[in-house]
Amino acid sequence: MSTPAERRRLAHALPPLADADDAAIERFIDAIWAEHGLSPATLEAYRRDLQGLARQRGSLAGIDRKALFDYLAMRTRAGYSPRSNARLLSSLRAYFGFCLRRGERADDPTALLQPPKQPRLLPKALSEAEIEALLAAPDVQAAVGLRDRAMLELMYACGLRVSELVGLPATALNLRQGVLRVMGKGSKERLVPLGEESRHWLQRWLVEARPAMLKALRDPSKAVALFVDGKGQPLSRQAFWVLVKRSAAAAGIDPKRISPHGLRHSFATHLLNHGADLRALQMLLGHASLSTTQIYTLVAREHLKSLHARHHPRA
């Protein structure tokens, strides 16, 4: 099975994108953005999927069902996961359906293709004790540590996606009312309560550390991002990943057991374990469908079974 680095090298070795394919892809991207208001990350995923197919098969114009089947099979052999191939097929269905509606094709080559079966993976959540250790790991005597503590507290308190966290503007925060305005997938906005602990650390970050880190900017008053690095620039997703791994190691937690998204999973799991309503959890997480949220009921059920096995005298 190939590694992600090997797959990237393979992609770079493919021929450049033809002008006709590039123009067709951009027409499609513009159309779905206007119709559905998709996020830049989602649009980029569509673009990347279509460019990869066009480069691999030579052109998008003459692709038939067999060519798509062969392409998906090739990706499977190259080590792409069923989830990745299912997402690719979703992109292709959207594109070829668009071409069919515009009269640019007489058929839809994805019509009879079935998405690959995906294993049902339960979200991996930390225990409440591990979360407490993780949150306490940053050195809050330093400005960077104070920022790290505030970010971890906010991530766990609100169940944010990583992209939502690093993309927060300072204006999204209302400490007086104790709420955070979050722009989620599909540009859907939601309000999430902060909680006393996260409010405390956010207040300290805003007063004690953020102004000092913004001094590196020529005009600190124009800074938009809530969380910044030592140069006053918005923190990236990759930098937050490093932050989480560093804090996990300091807390004595195996870094392989945790990811930034794991804090969101822990938020949801712990709320359910303490009796939260599934509909309320759906709103807090920003899920479009309740079925997406229901996966956490399985996690909570496994937790209850584990408690029963450990403590019931006849377990």
Active site residue 265: no
> Is 139 found in the same domain as 282?
yes
User: 226 phi and psi, to 5 degrees?
Assistant: -70, -40
Active site residue 314: no
Summarised one tens digit per residue, pLDDT across range 64-121 is 999 999 998 898 888 888 888 888 999 999 999 999 999 999 989 998 888 777 666 5
pLDDT at 14 over 70: no
Pick 188 or 142 by higher pLDDT.
142
Amino acid 122: pLDDT: 58
Instruction: Flag whether 49 is in a domain.
Output: yes
Mean pLDDT of 164-171: 93
Instruction: Flag whether 148 is in a domain.
Output: yes
Model confidence pTM above 0.75: no
Instruction: Flag whether 108 is in a domain.
Output: no
> Is 145 found in the same domain as 56?
no
Instruction: Flag whether 170 is in a domain.
Output: yes
Amino acid 301: pLDDT: 60
CATH number, domain of 49, equals: 1.10.150.130
Instruction: Flag whether 91 is in a domain.
Output: yes
> Is 132 found in the same domain as 49?
no
Mean pLDDT of 250-279: 84
Amino acid 311: pLDDT: 56
pLDDT at 308 over 80: no
pLDDT at 1 over 50: no
Active site residue 287: yes
Tally of structural domains, the chain: 2
* Boundaries of domain holding 28: 4-101
Amino acid 197: pLDDT: 94
pLDDT at 2 over 50: no
pLDDT at 302 over 90: no
> Is 284 found in the same domain as 204?
yes
Amino acid 310: pLDDT: 65
**Of residues 229, 11, 121, 303, the one with CA closest to residue 2:** 11
The catalytic position among 27, 246, 261, 303 is 261
pLDDT at 8 over 60: no
The catalytic position among 185, 190, 204, 245 is 185
Which of 50-64, 92-106, 111-125, 300-314 is least confident?
300-314
The catalytic position among 57, 75, 161, 270 is 161
> Is 235 found in the same domain as 160?
yes
pLDDT at 9 over 60: no
Instruction: Flag whether 202 is in a domain.
Output: yes
Cβ partners under 8 Å of residue 70, min gap 6: none
pLDDT at 281 over 50: yes
Active site residue 264: yes
Q: How far apart are CA 225 and CA 228, in angstroms?
A: 6
Active site residue 80: no
> Is 240 found in the same domain as 285?
yes
Instruction: Flag whether 111 is in a domain.
Output: no
Active site residue 261: yes
Summarised one tens digit per residue, pLDDT across range 20-40 is 889 999 999 999 998 888 888
> Is 166 found in the same domain as 281?
yes
Summarised one tens digit per residue, pLDDT across range 197-211 is 999 999 999 999 999
> Is 189 found in the same domain as 76?
no
Mean pLDDT of 39-67: 89
Summarised one tens digit per residue, pLDDT across range 150-161 is 999 999 999 898
> Is 200 found in the same domain as 144?
yes
Instruction: Flag whether 106 is in a domain.
Output: no
> Is 307 found in the same domain as 168?
yes
CATH number, domain of 187, equals: 1.10.443.10
Tokens for 137, please give them.
């790991």
> Is 173 found in the same domain as 279?
yes
What's the N-to-C CA distance of the chain in angstroms? 42
The catalytic position among 75, 199, 264, 270 is 264
Q: How far apart are CA 31 and CA 34, in angstroms?
A: 5
Instruction: Output the average pLDDT for the chain.
Output: 85
Beta pairing class for 189-193 and 179-183: antiparallel
> Is 137 found in the same domain as 199?
yes
Amino acid 244 reads V
